[in-house]
């Protein structure tokens, strides 16, 4: 039964979640919030939804770029290079981004008569992004359930697994990860140097997947 809405970026994690739970997902919502890589990842989100016959909606949240500060956003400082670690990637935090997105997704779920909202946060995100942590997911689930007539719930199946584990799920599903985007710099091709590129490389390698991503370096 198709009873869920998913927040879909077009990156490895949410695309894997989309395919793994395709039989339950009625609606995928992507957000254009002014990040440097939105225009690179959103076409992949649409492509996967088209392939699976899942309704796809893109919501504009231009206010984030206009009023929020983050190196992830257009006009922000440079995206840090190196490892995907707390201090190195902290500048990419967009204040309460997932909380805002989940609130909107919950509204769509209630409007369309769906029972669940799905998000692809994972264990590697926890240290860096407060709105990816298990406690946040738990409390947000309670808030969404309390604020909707039918008690809509938040499901985060990847909360306690790593990106490598997610890649292994994708491998079992036969996913082509060249049809996803990771690089926060949002150039013509993946830079190969930023934290998300390095995390992508590591996850694919450790999952035993040949990395066919084209990198600058």
pTM of the model: 0.96
pLDDT at residue 64, as a whole number = 97
Helices (H), the chain: 12-20, 38-52, 62-67, 86-89, 97-112, 134-146, 163-173, 195-206
Using CA atoms, how far apart are residues 61 and 72, in angstroms rounded to an integer? 14
pLDDT at residue 44, as a whole number = 98
In a domain, 211, yes or no: no
pLDDT at residue 50, as a whole number = 98
pLDDT at residue 88, as a whole number = 67
pLDDT at residue 162, as a whole number = 95
* The two structure tokens encoding residue 216: 């600058």
Using CA atoms, how far apart are residues 12 and 215, in angstroms rounded to an integer? 16
**If we measure between CA atoms, which residue out of 2, 200, 42, 15 comes closest to residue 214?**
200
pLDDT at residue 82, as a whole number = 79
In a domain, 84, yes or no: yes
The whole domain housing 44 covers: 4-206
In a domain, 212, yes or no: no
CATH number for position 135: 3.40.50.620
In a domain, 109, yes or no: yes
Contact between residue 101 and residue 144 where contact means Cβ atoms under 8 Å apart:
no
In a domain, 216, yes or no: no
pLDDT at residue 187, as a whole number = 97
Contact between residue 36 and residue 73 where contact means Cβ atoms under 8 Å apart:
yes
In a domain, 24, yes or no: yes
In a domain, 213, yes or no: no
Give the residues of the chain that fall short of pLDDT 70. Answer: 84-86, 88, 126
**If we measure between CA atoms, which residue out of 182, 155, 154, 171 comes closest to residue 207?**
171
In a domain, 182, yes or no: yes
Domains: count for the chain: 1
pLDDT at residue 128, as a whole number = 82
Model pLDDT for residues 80-89, shown as the tens digit of each residue: 887 766 576 8
């Amino acid at each position: 039964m198709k009873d869920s809405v998913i927040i879909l970026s077009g990156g490895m994690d949410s695309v894997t979640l989309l395919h793994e739970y395709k039989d339950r997902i009625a609606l995928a919502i992507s957000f254009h919030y002014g990040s440097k890589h939105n225009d690179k990842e959103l076409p992949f989100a649409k492509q996967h939804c088209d392939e699976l016959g899942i309704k796809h909606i893109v919501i504009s949240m231009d206010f984030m770029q206009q009023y929020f500060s983050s190196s992830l956003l257009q006009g922000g400082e440079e995206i840090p290079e190196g490892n995907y670690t707390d201090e190195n990637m902290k500048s990419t935090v967009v204040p309460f981004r997932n909380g805002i997105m989940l609130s909107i997704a919950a509204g769509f779920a209630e409007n369309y008569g769906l029972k669940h909202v799905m998000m692809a946060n994972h264990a590697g995100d926890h240290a860096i992004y407060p709105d990816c942590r298990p406690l946040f997911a738990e409390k947000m689930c309670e808030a969404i359930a309390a604020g909707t007539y039918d008690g809509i719930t938040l499901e985060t199946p990847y909360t306690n697994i790593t990106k490598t584990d997610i890649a292994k799920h994708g491998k079992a599903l036969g996913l082509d990860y060249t049809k996803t985007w990771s690089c926060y710099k949002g150039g013509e091709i993946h830079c190969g140097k930023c934290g998300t590129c390095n995390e992508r490389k590591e996850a694919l390698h450790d999952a035993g997947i040949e990395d066919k991503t084209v990198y600058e370096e």
